[in-house]
Amino acid sequence: MAAVKTAQVKMNIPNILTVFRIILVPVFLYFVIAGELYTAAAIFIIAGVTDGIDGFIARRFDMRTEFGANIDPFADKFLLVSAYIALTAKGLVPIWLTIPVIIKDSFLLSGVLALRTAGRKVVISPSVFGKSTTVLQIVTVVYAMLLGNGVEFTVLCALTAIVTVYTWLDYVKREFRIQTGRK
């Protein structure tokens, strides 16, 4: 009988925080759907803080793992895309912002999966624009839940959409250059 190989997942503090963030997504969605936006915002902020903490701990104490490198971006995208879909369904975030958020994240995750399936190495190094996009998307979600509509919110949404699309194109361009050997 052939032995079955199983991948071992090293569960350290950063990875536990990442899994916790994934578990918080349905809890967050429950409160959004129930109209408990202050509670939903608190949960969303807690999830966002865990993202910063897990990254800091992983880097500072050299606790980086392959599992963490793969699951952390998924957890981030799962939280943000879920938030945008739920808040758009509730009429709190415009669809014209949610569409580029979903398309960018879906495209990037699909591209990474396709390249890895093809045996290609993909190293995603976040850019300043990537981090700016994440911050803007998080601020937009929290603003939508706590402060609602207004001219300022529309400007924030427009800025978030522009930076999201720019970042998407920048990541595609950078990865294309890496995969084709063009620097």
Question: Is position 7 within any domain?
Answer: no
The confidence score (pLDDT) of residue 92 equals 97
* Cα distances (angstroms) measured from residue 162 to each of 66, 77, 111: 32, 18, 21
Question: Is position 4 within any domain?
Answer: no
The confidence score (pLDDT) of residue 183 equals 67
How many residues can be counted in the chain? 183
- Each residue's pLDDT expressed in tens, for the chain with a length of 183 residues: 555 555 566 789 999 999 999 999 999 999 999 999 999 999 999 999 999 899 899 999 999 888 888 888 889 999 999 999 999 999 999 999 999 999 998 888 888 888 878 888 776 667 788 889 989 999 999 999 999 889 999 999 999 999 999 999 988 888 888 778 876
For the chain, the domain total comes to: 1
The runs of H, that is alpha helices, within the chain are 13-33, 37-60, 66-89, 95-117, 128-146, 151-180
User: Where in the sequence is the domain holding 125, given as residue range(s)?
Assistant: 13-180
Question: Is position 8 within any domain?
Answer: no
Question: Is position 58 within any domain?
Answer: yes
Question: Is position 121 within any domain?
Answer: yes
In this structure, is the dihedral angle defined by the CA atoms of residues 165, 168, 171 and 175, taken in order, positive or negative? negative
Provide the CATH number for the domain around residue 78: 1.20.120.1760
The structure tokens listed for 4 are 């079955």
The confidence score (pLDDT) of residue 3 equals 52
Spatial CA neighbour of 101 closest among 115, 117, 87, 112: 87
* Cα distances (angstroms) measured from residue 81 to each of 75, 88, 93: 10, 10, 12
Question: Is position 59 within any domain?
Answer: yes
Spatial CA neighbour of 30 closest among 19, 18, 39: 39
Question: Is position 88 within any domain?
Answer: yes
Question: Is position 133 within any domain?
Answer: yes
The three-point CA angle 167-99-166 to 5° equals: 15
The confidence score (pLDDT) of residue 83 equals 98
